[in-house]
Amino acid sequence: MKIRHLNLKNWMNYQKLETGELRDRMFIIGPNASGKSNLLDALRFLRDVALPAGRKPSGGGLQKAVRDRGGLPKLRCVNARQDNVVWLEVKLKGTDGANWSYRLGFKGEGKANNRFIITEEYVEKDGESLLVRPDDLDKKDHDRLTQTWLELTTANEKFRELSHFFSETTYLHLVPQLLKFANLIGGNTIEQDPFGQGFLQRVAATGEKTRNARLRRIQKALAAVVPNFKELRFIKDDITGLPHIEANFAHWRPSGAWQRESQFSDGTLRLIGLLWSLMDSSSLLLIEEPELSLNEEIVRHLPRLIQQVQKQSKTARQVLITTHSEALLSDLTIPAEEVIRLEPHREGTRVHLLDPQEKIMLASGLSVGEVLLKTTKPEDVGQLELSLR
């Protein structure tokens, strides 16, 4: 399944947003605080709603998903004014070519118990309505509107494929220090592990044959960009039983020198996490700023690397990426249609469409990084200073 359109209303930065056609590889750009992460979080929100309660230690569903984001006041766009309904619509293409649509609207109940009430839940497949809420039973029993049918396996039989797709969404913003100092930090991993703290556990949970095949592919990629790198392997500590990744580097000793992940550079760890995630599933992959800690020349090759993995896989992941990197967007194979450019306004962030001059510049052979990214830079950045007086 692939997402083809995402429409939002009153969601965080967005009073109203329509992304237009989404391709298998999309880059999201914009100034700081324009809502790049919040755009990805709309899809993480649907994942959290779709997750059955048994899949999360503290439960799942609509009520938990809203509260995890600080409640409705922090989630709803400040420009909403009198319109207090938060609304999300996703249009998708199934693996069999079927066209799907899912819409969810909700608002605060306005009572002391501070619940969130569904104003609309709608599922459509190839023009046929599979779910329309509120229905007559919802109107008779108001408590039913505190739960989506998306999260209930007893109710989503007709569109469970959609529920499974949302619930398998992966968000990657790997923080290397969480892996390097895992023994000191302890085992308190945030639900859904947004910062990669449980990355080694996911590697360990993968079947040995698949795991070894992926590590061989990553090993080949690392050998091209990491000095003196020779070999990558997975092991479990004989004493603690904890999983580790070890790398062998060329050394004066004939057998080289083995290092564990705690000794890897931040860039090496982030690159391993990125490469693994690209091969890890066929579901949606959301990536925050993959350029962090990486050499600029490696960053330049990431778009083609992602495209290569997608072409080689029978069930390639759709990838949505936030970035500030001109190097990442310097690849001339990236068309403007693969870029979502966000622009803040007084009434909320909007998608900034190409103007005629930009179309001419792109047609002349300039990259999207050269043409589009410069428009996201702060106008007064030259006046940035910190006065000590």
Q: What is the pLDDT along the chain (389 residues), one digit of tens a residue?
A: 999 999 999 999 999 999 989 999 999 999 998 999 999 999 999 999 998 755 555 557 999 999 999 999 899 998 877 788 999 999 999 989 999 999 999 999 887 678 899 999 999 999 999 999 999 999 999 899 999 999 999 999 999 999 999 999 999 888 888 877 776 666 566 666 677 778 888 899 999 999 999 999 999 988 888 888 888 999 998 888 888 999 998 865 666 678 888 888 898 889 999 999 998 888 999 999 999 989 999 999 999 999 988 888 777 899 999 999 999 999 998 999 999 999 998 888 999 989 999 999 999 999 999 999 888 877 666 666 765 56
HEC secondary structure over the chain: CEEEEEEEEEECCEEEEECCCCCCEEEEECCCCCCHHHHHHHHHHHHHHHCCHHHCCCCCCHHHHHHHCCCHHHHECCCCCCCCCEEEEEEEECCCCCEEEEEEEEEECCCCCCCEEEEEEEEEECCEEEEEECCHHHHHCHHHHHCCCCCCCCCCHHHHHHHHHHHCCEEECCCHHHHHCHHHHCCCCCCCCCCCCCHHHHHHHCCHHHHHHHHHHHHHHHHHHCCCEEEEEEEECCCCCCEEEEEEECCCCCCCEEEEHHHCCHHHHHHHHHHHHHHCCCCCEEEECCCCCCCHHHHHHHHHHHHHHHHHCCCCCCEEEECCCCCHHHCCCCCHHHEEEEECCCCCCEECCCCHHHHHHHHCCCCHHHHHHHHHCCCCHHHCCCCCC
Strands of 243-249's sheet, edge to edge? 229-236, 243-249, 257-260
Residue in the structure block whose two tokens are 């993480």? 44
Interatomic CA distance for residues 236 and 205, integer angstroms: 12
Interatomic CA distance for residues 348 and 362, integer angstroms: 28
Q: Quote the pLDDT of residue 255.
A: 63
Q: What Cα–Cα distance (Å) separates residue 186 from each residue in 57, 182, 183, 190?
A: 17, 6, 6, 12
Residue in the structure block whose two tokens are 């249009």? 91
Residue in the structure block whose two tokens are 């792109």? 362
Evaluate if pTM is beyond 0.75. Answer: yes
Cis peptide bond N-terminal to 134, omega within 30: yes
Q: How far is CA 148 from the centre of its chain?
A: 22
Q: Quote the pLDDT of residue 201.
A: 87
Asked if residue 358 lies in contact with residue 337, where contact means CB atoms within 8 angstroms, the answer is no
Q: Quote the pLDDT of residue 252.
A: 55
The tokens of 209 are what? 């044959």
Q: Quote the pLDDT of residue 97.
A: 93
- Domain residue spans of the chain: 172-282
Q: Quote the pLDDT of residue 87.
A: 96
The tokens of 284 are what? 């949606």
With vertex at residue 34, the alpha carbon angle to CA 165 and CA 107, rounded to the nearest 5 degrees, is: 55
Q: Quote the pLDDT of residue 260.
A: 87
The tokens of 241 are what? 């039983």
Q: Quote the pLDDT of residue 343.
A: 92
Instruction: Kindly give, in sequence order, each residue whose CB lies less than 8 Å from that of residue 36, ignoring residues fewer than 6 positions away.
Output: 28, 29, 30, 322, 342
